[in-house]
Every structure is written in C-alpha cells, then in structure tokens.
Amino acid sequence: MSFVRVNALNSLYVVDLDTMRYADALELQRHVAKERISGKIPEDVLLLVEHPHVVTLGRSTRLVNLVASKEQLEARGIELFDVERGGDVTYHGPGQLVGYPIIDLKRHKQDLHWYLRQVEEALIVALRTFGIEGVRQPGYTGVWVETTSPRIPNPQAPIPEPTPVASRRKLASIGVHARDWVTWHGFALNVTTDLSYFDVMVPCGIADVTMTSIQREATLGAPGATIPETKRLVAEAFARVFRLEPQAHTLD
C-alpha cells in the first residue's frame, strides 16, 4: 500500500476497492486506521467498496433482530460477521455502495455526534444530484427519504381537504467506530440493491422500517443511478463537507 502526500495540505485520499469480501475490507480498514493513527498515512482516507452478500452485527445488536438462522443465511450465500462498529444488524451486498471514512477527528472536531451528522450531510448532498431530498430521522442515525400522500378526507370534518401524511423510508445506514479520534467503519448506501435481502433481519433493529434505494427513489429520468457514478458523487460530497481536497489513490 502506498500513499504519497500531494501539494494540498488537507486532502481526502479516495480509494476505490471495487468489489471485495467483507473480511478482507475489514482487515484493510483496520490497517489503514492504525497507520492513520500513527501518522504513516498523512491524510484522511475514504475507502469505497461493494461487498458480496454479508450480514454484520454491531455492538448494539439484539439477536432477535436477526430473523434468519445461520443455515438459512448460508443457503442464500450470505456471510455473517460480528464487528466493533456501533449500531444493530445490517446487510451489505451487490448494488450497495459501502464507504469507510478513516478520518482523524483531531483535525476536524473531537465529537462523534458531530461526525455522524457530517456523514449524514455528505450523503444528503450527494443524493440531491439524483433528485432525492434525503432527511434525518429524529432519534436515529442514517439517511431517509420522505414522501407525502393525501390523507383520505373525513366527510364529517369542517374542512375535508386532503392533509399530507409523511412516510419515511431508509436509504442509508451508518455505524462507526473510533480510536484515538480516528474513525473507521462507515455507511451503506443502497443504489441498485436487491432489497429483498433485508428480509433476513429487522434492519438496524428498527421495527417496521422500510428500506429503499436510489434506483427506486430517483426522480424519473435522473441520470447516474449506478455504483461508479454514485462513488464519484459521494467522494466529492465528503470532500466538500469535510473541507478537503479529494485525491484518487490506489493500493499497491
């Protein structure tokens, strides 16, 4: 692995890992985080990847939220991992963009709640390109989309006009870990994900949650609902939100 400092004093090294098994990506991000903590890697890093089918269990996972047995997961080709990130159970798989920001918060703000809001903001910024207005859900971490539908008017009401009713669907999940104020783990953004795989769990431990994707939510005719285009937009949004200069890097 080779990272070379560029002229920009504050850079975001963006590394496209293409498709990688979760175990390999986990080992890699732990290694990069260790070298970021030591200073061997001089700038913040964003690893972008797609995973084969995998379910991960965070520190807050209640096993009741994993509704499929290990045998059922294996039958569907889904691996299972316990990890140190925050949050409950979630799924990664083809068509989903997973990002691992390895950020030294000592250079930004030593506040994990602030950091989570910044990760959400970067995804919200990227989603606007697809005509999607991402929103936060009070009390939860992640990015959601909201639509309004007319409420059936009550003929007994004084003014029987339809009233908007908000419904929210979850588009991106976030779970992070930090040591010495350096973060790893990160976000999972559904792009063209087969959402049926979320049926093996209660996603993020939220009862009755509806998962969705960019492909499903994008404005009709909006371009770029692909993993490569989403990678570019997300990298640009992260650099903008964290006030960094994006620099593409590869691993040797």
So what's the pLDDT on residue 157? 43
Neighbours of 20 (CB within 10 A): 16
- 47: amino acid identity, one letter: L
So what's the pLDDT on residue 89? 85
Query: Is 148 annotated in the active site?
Result: no
CA angle in degrees (0–180, nearest 5) for 171-176-181: 140
- Residues of the chain predicted below pLDDT 70: 1-9, 147-167, 219-224, 252
So what's the pLDDT on residue 65? 78
pLDDT single digits (tens) 31-75:
999 999 999 999 999 999 999 999 988 877 777 778 888 899 999
Task: Decide if 124 contacts 146 (C-beta within 8 A).
Answer: no
Q: How far apart are CA 246 and CA 217, in angstroms?
A: 27
Task: Decide if 118 contacts 136 (C-beta within 8 A).
Answer: no
So what's the pLDDT on residue 114? 97
The residue among 80, 103, 99 whose CA lies nearest residue 183 is 103
Task: Indicate the domain borders of the chain.
Answer: 11-149+164-249
The domain made up of 11-149+164-249 has a fold known as: BirA Bifunctional Protein; domain 2 (3.30.930)
Task: Tell me what the pLDDT averaged over the chain comes to.
Answer: 85
The gap from C-alpha 241 to its chain's centroid, in whole angstroms, comes to 15
So what's the pLDDT on residue 202? 81
Catalytic residue among 119, 126, 204, 244: 204
Q: What is the radius of gyration, based on Cα positions, of the chain?
A: 19
So what's the pLDDT on residue 248? 94
So what's the pLDDT on residue 92? 94
So what's the pLDDT on residue 9? 55
So what's the pLDDT on residue 203? 79
So what's the pLDDT on residue 21? 96
Distances (CA, A) of 240 to 10, 48, 121, 162, 172: 12, 17, 10, 40, 19
